[in-house]
Amino acid sequence: MARAKPTPTTSPARNGRAAPKQPSRTFGVGALSAVAAALGLGAALFAVALRKGRSLTNPAEHAAPDLAADAPPPSARQRAPDAFRPDPTAPVPPELRDSLRPAIGPAPSLAADRGSMASGSQGTAS
Is the pLDDT at 89 greater than 60, yes or no? yes
- pTM listed for this prediction: 0.28
Strand ranges inside 1-126, DSSP E: none
Cβ neighbors of 117 (< 8 A, separation 6 or more) are 123
Distance of CA 120 to the CA centre of its chain: 36
With bands split at pLDDT 50, 70 and 90, how would you rate the model's confidence at 36? very high
Report pLDDT digits (tens) over 74-87: 787 888 778 888 88
- What pairs with residue 14 in β-bridges? 17
- What pairs with residue 17 in β-bridges? 14
